[in-house]
Amino acid sequence: MHQQQQQQQVQNTLSSVPPAASASTGNYPAFDLGKFWTEQMQLADMFESDFKNHPLPLARIKKVMKTDQEVKVR
């Protein structure tokens, strides 16, 4: 009798879970990968950057890295 109650509880629990949430993807919402990459490509095309004027002083960073014994450049 106890086993029948447990099976009934499992059936009730499974019937209350929506089909999308019971899939192997977990509780993540549906994700359109094609749309994602299309948007990323559009963002990359619109990206404008001045590669000659970097916000960090790279020459100074390199100089500090050369003098620091703990920094190893590969």
d(CA 11, CA 27): 20
How many folded domains does the chain comprise?
1
What single letter denotes the amino acid at residue 10?
A: V
Which pair of structure tokens corresponds to residue 57? 């002083």
- Decide if 15 is inside a domain: yes
**What pLDDT is stored for residue 42 in this prediction?**
95
- What's the domain range around 24? 2-67
- Decide if 8 is inside a domain: yes
Which pair of structure tokens corresponds to residue 1? 């009798």
- Decide if 72 is inside a domain: no
User: For 29, phi and psi rounded to 5 degrees?
Assistant: -70, 165
Residue with tokens 């009730």: 12
**What pLDDT is stored for residue 26 in this prediction?**
64
- Decide if 33 is inside a domain: yes
- Decide if 49 is inside a domain: yes
Per-residue tens of pLDDT for the chain, all 74 residues: 555 655 566 565 555 555 554 445 567 778 889 999 999 999 999 988 777 777 788 888 888 888 887 876 66
Return all residues near 27 (Cβ < 8 A) that are at least 6 apart.
Answer: 21
- Decide if 45 is inside a domain: yes
pTM of the model: 0.33
